[in-house]
Structure 1
């Protein structure tokens, strides 16, 4: 493939943007390709190269790059009527009503502008509601670029994971390994009266798509109930992708007190949201005393895109299509790994998938979790599958980034650029796209 235009654009970008990008995950080596346009389930770069796109904007594009007529019409109409107003509009009420009708735990909603802003606001809300300071998060979990969760360490021995964050922020953040109920119990035994909330993704989506072991979320739910803490599900990635319109909490049958959303709920436009029980969400100003505000919150174009995207998904069996393709992809990947790399692990569910380059595993897939690791104790691969983010970190991350990702790109398959981020299926993908990608996996692995 020729990448002259992308290289020239990257050279220009380095002069005006740090690292030549506006999000660090885009800084692939030696330089990223620059996208010119999207086309259904594909993207075309500045040099005219065409790729099957399984990045999907890191998750927001459930329908793909071509908006259906009803979505496109709503976006164009609201943009034509005026970009924004600094006043409420009907469409934000309609989107909030749609979410509260379908997500089991959500009675009330506050829209913001990003997943990070949603989790920042949710942490502030939990502290304001409970009158406590400490937050429990999962080790290696990711909840956006916010000071309260950018921490490293174990238990109460934590410190900031980035320069620019005072040590005092980390003092109030406690960490436990995902899928370790004993560690969760221990941190509550020691700090339970001071814990405002547990913040976790239902499925780790930034660390190899790690499923919860059976009963783990129920343990967190029980601990929060016993100690008067809030359970916050970060569904920025899984929301309206895993579990359909009920989200991952509906799939797992566990109701959090607060849920954060992003990505799909805005239909591909910048968005975030905090939802939950009315008595909690009403603590936000102006109904309550926990300050939360934003100039672009409830932006009418974003609200219209999100509403019509979710309506379209509900009316056209989008989830049936993308989940079927997800099963086809994961099953195909398992067949490839059985022949070529049985130590590797296929992960994912619904329309999410990934191959984690784990270092150990049985030589056979007999009796394994079909269609992606589900953390079943009876599975012969159970002891080898990643249980938390640290397990994924121990995989062959350099091989994934330096050899595998470039090899897939050269075959016209666009994957997220590191070992940790998920791949996504969209409604515009076809069985042919999946089969072509599987052939590329055979060659690259």
Structure 2
């Protein structure tokens, strides 16, 4: 493949943007990223004319692929042509809020913002304001955006910021625990229960491999929060309107949080975030309550129109049946390839999410119960060695994935997220032929 134009663009970008990018992960491909010129259904075409089958899908927002259905395109064009934005409410904000409240179990009220990070920042502030407590429990390896409360690392009682630029004092009230560890979270509540404002967790770790909860884990979190008057906050920025369909992951797992954060799909591919939850909690946001939250671009009419039209399309068409069936087909094919080529690796994912984690397991291949991705089923032969938390994924062969496997897949014309950790996505634009081609590429590259 020729990449001269991308190289020239990256050279220019390095002079005017830190690292040549506007989001750090985009610089991960070595020696330089390819620059995208346009999207086309399930593909992207780069500045040099190279065409890739796309499984990054904008890191999750593009459930429908790169080509907006006519109804979505019409809604976006209509609201864009009526004026960029107003600094005043619009009807479409109410329409989208009502749609989300009808379908997501935890949502009675919702506040729209501009990014997943802004949503989780606001949710943490809301939890602290509502409970009067300061401590926030998070999962090690979970990701909740670029915010000071959650950019931490360490063990309970020995926590420090995970990046420069954050005062040590900001980490004092954050308590990281391993995902899927009943004992660890129980001990934290025994010691700090009357100080905890919330437990903030992704229902499925989506930025550190794809790690599903073990049986009973979310129910245990729900019980602990209820017993100590803390809030359970699900970060569904990735899983929202992807896992569990319109009811989101919380409906899939049957556990209803007090507050849910959204992003990505709820904006139909445009910048968005949202905080939803019980009325008695959400009304603590200003102007109804005393927890300040505001934003110039919040509820942007074009974003609201794109989000509503996208979700309505999903409700009316076979979107979830299509993408989930393709996800199963892909993970089943990858499981067969891995069993033959690299039995120590683990295929993970659910619905339209997937990944192959380069684990170092010594046990046999995944059992039939996990043939379409690790389900944390205790009956699986791999159960004792499949990833249970972020540390398990971190112990995988990350350099092999990034330096050898990702470039090989790129040369096959398959665009994956450029590290071992971040999820990959099937879209409504993908076909069975795309899936079969992808499985064949994995077989050649593993």
1:429 match = 430
Residue aligned with 1:346, SS: strand
Structure 1: how far apart are the matches of 2:61 and 2:192? 37
Structure 1: how far apart are the matches of 2:178 and 2:86? 44
5+ residue gaps, structure 1, are: none
1:299 match = 300
- Does the CA contact (< 8 Å) of 2:367 and 2:382 recur in 1? no
- Does the CA contact (< 8 Å) of 1:328 and 1:434 recur in 2? yes
- Does the CA contact (< 8 Å) of 1:232 and 1:259 recur in 2? yes
Alignment of 1:20-419 (within 5 A): 20-27=20-27, 28-419=29-420
5+ residue gaps, structure 2, are: none
Q: CA deviation at 1:140?
A: 1.4
Structure 2: how far apart are the matches of 1:271 and 1:256? 21
- Does the CA contact (< 8 Å) of 2:365 and 2:381 recur in 1? no
Runs of 4 or more, structure 1, over 3 Å off, are 363-368
Structure 2: how far apart are the matches of 1:60 and 1:367? 31
Alignment of 1:7 with 2:7, yes or no, is: yes
Cα deviation code 1:297-355 (max 9, x no counterpart): 00000000000000001101100000000000000000101110000000000000000
- Does the CA contact (< 8 Å) of 2:365 and 2:382 recur in 1? no
Q: Relative to structure 1, is the Cα distance of residues 367 and 70 closer, same or farther in structure 2, using a 3 angstrom cutoff?
A: closer
Q: CA deviation at 1:121?
A: 0.1
- Does the CA contact (< 8 Å) of 2:6 and 2:48 recur in 1? yes
Structure 2: how far apart are the matches of 1:333 and 1:367? 13
Q: CA deviation at 1:361?
A: 3.5
Structure 1: how far apart are the matches of 2:305 and 2:36? 25
Q: Relative to structure 1, is the Cα distance of residues 85 and 366 closer, same or farther in structure 2, using a 3 angstrom cutoff?
A: closer
Structure 2: how far apart are the matches of 1:34 and 1:364? 38
Q: CA deviation at 1:264?
A: 0.1
Structure 1: how far apart are the matches of 2:376 and 2:433? 30
Structure 1: how far apart are the matches of 2:377 and 2:369? 9
Q: CA deviation at 1:157?
A: 1.3
Structure 2: how far apart are the matches of 1:396 and 1:232? 32
Residue aligned with 2:2, SS: coil
- What TM-score, normalized by structure 2, do the two folds share? 0.99
Residue aligned with 1:416, SS: coil
Structure 1: how far apart are the matches of 2:369 and 2:256? 29
For the aligned residues, what is the CA RMSD?
Answer: 0.6
